[in-house]
Amino acid sequence: MQGRALLIGNWKMNKTVEGSAGHARTLIRALEDWWDPKLVQVVLAPTALAIAAVGRILAGTDIAVAGQNLELGTEGALTGGISGYLLYEAGARWVIVGHSERRQHFAEDDALITEKVKAAWQAGLNAVVCIGETEAERNQGATERVVRQQLNLLLAGPLKGGLTIAYEPVWAIGSGRVPEPEEVAEIAAIIHGEVGARWPEAENRVAVLYGGSVNAKNLGGFLNQADVGGALIGGASLAAGEMAAMVRAAQQEGPRAR
């Protein structure tokens, strides 16, 4: 039996509001007549400036909108901050938390990321938490230790909302280098094992995605692994045709039922 794949396009700091709206319209046209949302769930994460515009265009479709980050709280004196509440009001229903670029450039640690997940849940958002090792950690054979450590605080409390975990090895992001699908499957199995040990009733509710230089050509290899439920897509999601090709690949390959 085929499971439902989850594909999230993370546009990062790309596209104007007008360009984002045009991209959304083009993707809708590219998917019409053949995309089955029961087999592939699609989420787009534009810049915060474009969430409302993209959300209006996607209203009435099965494509959801995500924020790329959030700050703690609801409203208040935090210049430049955007809370989960504001994201939700703008039309987002998902949010990416703890991406390696946030960890690296904004010094976000596991404690802050855990608090952000709680804030996302409080706002009614599905949280997509990114974890993964650096190249140095990989070379030291520390991948499993790093992954378990990054999950530790997150899984310490109760599950109170939608949660997806994206395994994104830092060395693969934007580099064109990708791990073997079997390597990703091993890490995905570890993640599922950790989730099952902490939240036995929720193990099958928490999807594990792969991210890092993923595209239409290599996506199928990851989705063919039993514990990989989809992908968090960066650069390849910026072209509507490539994103549509990945949806088609996911629909044809699909994640195997666990």
Residues with a known catalytic role: 99, 168
The CA distance from 97 to 69, in Å, is 6
Q: How far is CA 40 from CA 180, 182, 249, in A?
A: 23, 22, 10
Pairing of β 163-167 and β 40-45 = unpaired
Quick check: 56 and 89 in contact, CB under 8 A? Answer: no
8 A C-beta contact, residue 53 and residue 17: yes
C-beta atoms surrounding 139 within 10 Å:
11
Sorted by sequence, the CB contacts under 8 Å of residue 175 that are 6+ apart come out as 212, 213
